[in-house]
Chains A and B, each alone.
Chain A
Amino acid sequence: MSDIILDVQNLSMHYETLEGNVLAVKDVTFNVKSGESFGLVGESGCGKTSVAMTLLQLQPENSVISEGSIKLDGKELIGLSENELRKVRWDSISIVFQGAMNAWNPVIKIGEQIREALREHYPENSKQTNIDKINQLFKMVGLDESTANRFPHELSGGMKQRAVIALALSCDPKIIIADEPTTALDVVIQDQILNEIKKVQELLGLSLIYISHDIAVIAEMTDKIAVMYAGSIVEIGPTSEVFNSPKHSYTKALLDSTPSIKGEKKKLKSLDGEPPSLINKIEGCSFAPRCPNRNISCKPERDMKLIEVGHDHFVDSCSLGENYE
């Protein structure tokens, strides 16, 4: 349980655009232990998907990783050539993408698309071995064996997403990144898929990085979460602790905007404004313009820095205000 399988240190990435550099990921540090579920939460455009893409180095061509390191099982991923990366992809880290609907090539059969990945990473396998493997995966995610001979358009949304999970598991990865895997599905199917992911993860002892804007799902799925805002992590810690005693104003605001089944009825609070544009560097606290708890003791001009407030629980120094120092 304790060995760290993915270690991300000071990762920064920006997109080069005509208007200037978009700093999508700023100084992100976190690690994932083997068998652990790690959640990344934040509103749209805060850099969650950029982090996921950077882990696999699948980001668009105009992006630049300016600094930091990604160590997978002790092996540095940044600076690897495309061919070396190809071996890492899917074999060590696989990903379940946002829209399962479009994750399949419409003109190739599902089974063939999975076998393609198997062929790439296990070239010595016979065809029968691969077929057996796929049948076994389908059984695990609750799909019929005949699905392998179907085309993507013949499956329902939920089936496609199950098949995507089977695809993600096909090369026995150590980590699966689930990038909002349930956004395009209805609530009932969402729940089924989440249970499926959880079941499979426990069964195979995988690590999971779960990315979502849905804080309720994150709470259910993960052991540890990181809250992202404007490209940086503002609070990171064990899920229960972050939920029970959120320290950062943004985390508090996020939690306040989600209804709770238990406890007293509260009016949901929404946060005014929108995340800042990430073009060019933001000096000091990026959340300051929207922060509902700004007071005199707050020092928005201070650079953001994570401070440990509890066991494994770090929070951005800005929101600690006068309690800090």
Chain B
Amino acid sequence: MLRYIVNRFIQMVVVFFLFLIISYLLFDAIPGNAFQNLLLNPSLPPYAYEETIALYGLDQPLSVRLQKYIVNFFKGDLGYSYIQFPKTAIELIAERLPRTLMLFSVVNILAFYTGFFVGKILAWRRGSKSETWITITSVFSYTVFYPWFALLMLWFFGLRMGWVPIGKFLTPSKWYDSPFDSDVVFLEMIKYMVIFSVLYFVITLLTKEIESLNLRRNIRLGSFFALLFISNFYWNTGQLSEMRFYAGDIAYHTILPVLTVTIVAFAGTALLTRTTMMEVLKDDYILTARAKGLSQKRIRDRHAARTALLPVVTSFIFTIVTIIDGSVLTETIFSWPGMGQLILESVLREDIPVAMASFSFIGVFALIAHFLADVSYAFLDPRIRIKSQG
């Protein structure tokens, strides 16, 4: 297994290297001199223009520039933004990334679980009336033109009903005298979510060995609510007790985007789960499980859904990658200043260093996702585990 992981890692580095070169060449092929943008920047001291050119070899031929860029890249220097001069590309990304990550990690988890759950119920109730209707709804939300649907949601929930705010990720009037930067609050929120999931995961692992299924389920459910209860105290400690108010404001603003993207994203998972699970339900071991006298729920969840999970996880991990570039649409529609908007702005205004940095970030993200997909296969399907050892 270790050798397999190391092999895959080396492959990843090579692919990333190629990715970097190709994207640099593509940006270089844009007509005009993007660098002139820097000259138009009023906050630019006169000497900085010359120095930046010298630093990144911008007056050199392509081969030299590329070489310099790659060396700098691996040193961690991705250059200055042409538009927002004193800020570096990395600073810009560091500011935007938490916002996108929070929104889309919530969406992904929600979409995957609802999709998987709905799909599994659909396959199980095949032929019933509810199955027909939910399938039709899923196909609709899978194929709907996303920007139109998002605007419709905005209009209905934001404007018509007025339940949720329209656009932006915070209410400016609440934040003008805020002692906290919104990024700090975002990071705290992400930290909390990570701690919560890790704790719950540990509990799941610890309870795995309990023989009685009812007890196991009750302990897991109980500890979930206990964690929720404890988080109440967590958010009351020190600085967090003041931050709560602002975190709540951000959470309020995430409701609509999360809801919209989840509705669109869950359908693919649901339909795929339905199809694969219907295949699995024909298998002989389902009959064995029934003959053993297992409960319907146990057969559905443990035998059918568990085996049907593999292709679903595969496709899901690939959609994670597309969701980052899909965030361009979402963030534009909901005026959510995250990575998606950063990419859009930087490309439109030819802010090459920032665009390059964002794209290479997506590249890294995609590579890691594919790598995780491969590793998770090995965990989900023991038959692959054997092959990868040899």
Nearest first, the 3 closest Cβ-Cβ pairs linking A and B are: A102-B284, A89-B293, A86-B293
CB of B307 within 8 A of CB of A107, answer yes
Q: How large is the interface on A (under 10, 10 to 19, 20 to 34, 35 or more residues)?
A: 35 or more
Scan residues 279-335 of chain B and give those whose CB is less than 8 A from a CB of chain A.
283-285, 287-296, 298, 302-303, 306-307
Q: How far is the CB of A43 from chain B (nearest CB, A)?
A: 22
Given A102-B285, A103-B288, A107-B307: A119 touches B213 (CB 8 Å cut-off): yes
Q: With A97-B287, A103-B288, A107-B381 given, is the CB distance from A126 to B295 under 8 Å?
A: no
In the docked arrangement, what's the CA distance between A74 and B212, Å?
A: 31
Residues of A within 8 A of B306 (CB): 105, 107-108
CB A60 to nearest CB in B, in angstroms, measures 10
- Asked if B181 is an interface residue, CB under 8 A from chain A, the answer is no
Give residues 107-123 of A contacting B (CB, 8 Å).
107-108, 115-117, 119-121, 123
A91 within 8 A of B: yes
Closest residue on chain A to residue B214 by CB atoms? A123
Residues of B within 8 A of A95 (CB): 291
**Min CB distance, B75 to chain A, in Å?**
45
Q: What is the bound-complex CA distance between A91 and B292, given in angstroms? A: 8
Bound-state CA distance A74–B381 (Å) is 45
Q: Nearest Cβ in chain A — how far from B220, in angstroms?
A: 17
Let me know if B174 is at the binding interface, CB within 8 A. no
For the complex, is B179 an interface residue (Cβ under 8 Å from A)? no
Are A117 and B292 neighbours in the complex by a CB distance under 8 Å? Answer: yes
Interface residues in A73-87 by Cβ distance below 8 A to B read 82, 85-87
**Residues of A near any B CB (own CB < 8 A):** 56, 58, 82, 85-91, 94-95, 97, 99, 102-108, 115-117, 119-121, 123, 125-127, 130, 151, 153-154, 167
Cα-based distance from A198 to B285 in the complex (angstroms): 25
- Contact of B292 with A97 in the complex, beta carbons under 8 Å: no
Q: Closest residue of chain B to A100, judged by CB?
A: B284
Known A86-B294, A126-B211, A127-B211; contact A106-B383, beta-carbon cutoff 8 A: yes
Against A, the Cβ 8 Å flags (1 = close, 0 = not) of B85-127 are 0000000000000000000000000000000000000000000
- Indicate the size class of the contact surface on chain B: 20 to 34
**Which residue of B214, B307, B380 has the most chain A CB atoms within 10 A of its CB atom?**
B307
What residues of B have a CB within 8 angstroms of the CB of A127 in the complex? 209, 211
A120 interface neighbour in B285, B294, B307, Cβ under 8 Å: B294
The distance from the CB of A114 to the nearest CB of chain B, in whole angstroms, is 9
Contacts of A99 in B (CB 8 A): 284
Q: In the complex, which of the residues A86, A97, A125 contacts B284, with contact meaning CB atoms closer than 8 Å?
A: A97
Select which of B287, B293, B302, B303 is within 8 A of A88 by beta carbon.
B293
Say whether, besides A130-B211, A153-B383, A104 and B288 are in contact (CB < 8 Å).
yes
B382 in the interface, Cβ–Cβ < 8 Å? yes
What are the residues of chain A within 8 A of B283 when measuring CB–CB?
Answer: 102
Pick from A56, A90, A106: contact of B307, CB under 8 Å: A106
Residue of B nearest to A105 (CB): B285
Q: Which of the listed residues B209, B294, B381 has the most CB atoms from chain A within 10 Å of its own CB?
A: B294
Interchain residue pairs with CB less than 8 A apart (25) = A56-B291, A86-B293, A88-B293, A89-B290, A89-B291, A89-B293, A97-B284, A97-B288, A99-B284, A102-B283, A103-B284, A105-B288, A108-B303, A108-B306, A115-B211, A116-B292, A116-B294, A116-B298, A116-B302, A120-B293, A120-B298, A127-B209, A151-B382, A151-B383, A167-B288
Most central of B298, B307, B380, B382 by chain A CB within 10 Å: B382
Which residues of the partner chain A approach B284 to less than 8 Å between Cβ atoms? Answer: 97, 99, 102-103
Interface residues of B in 340-390 (CB under 8 A from A): 380-383, 386
Q: Tell me, in angstroms, the Cα distance from A285 to B289 when the chains sit together.
A: 39
Q: Can you add 17 more A-B contacts, CB < 8 Å, to A89-B291, A167-B292?
A: A58-B287, A85-B293, A90-B292, A102-B283, A102-B285, A103-B284, A103-B288, A105-B285, A105-B307, A106-B285, A106-B381, A107-B382, A116-B294, A125-B211, A127-B209, A153-B383, A167-B288
Expressed in whole angstroms, the Cα–Cα distance for A151 and B294 within the complex equals 20
Least distance between B310 CB and chain A CB atoms (Å): 8
Whether A87 contacts B307 in the complex (CB less than 8 A), given A97-B288, A107-B381, A153-B382, comes out as: no
* Among candidates B212, B288, B291, B386, residue contacting A119 with C-beta atoms closer than 8 Å: B212
Give the residues in chain B near A82, CB-CB below 8 Å: 296
| B residues near A89, Cβ cutoff 8 Å | 290-293
A130–B213 alpha-carbon span in the complex (Å): 14
Give B303 Cβ to nearest chain A Cβ, in Å.
Answer: 5
Closest to A104 in B: B285
Distance in angstroms between the alpha carbons of A154 and B294 in the assembled complex: 25
Beta-carbon nearest neighbor of A92 in chain B:
B293
B293 touches A121 (CB 8 A): yes
Within the assembled complex, what's the spacing in Å between the Cα atoms of A102 and B287?
Answer: 10
Chain B residues with CB under 8 A of A86: 293-295
Q: Which chain A positions have C-beta within 8 A of B295?
A: 86, 120
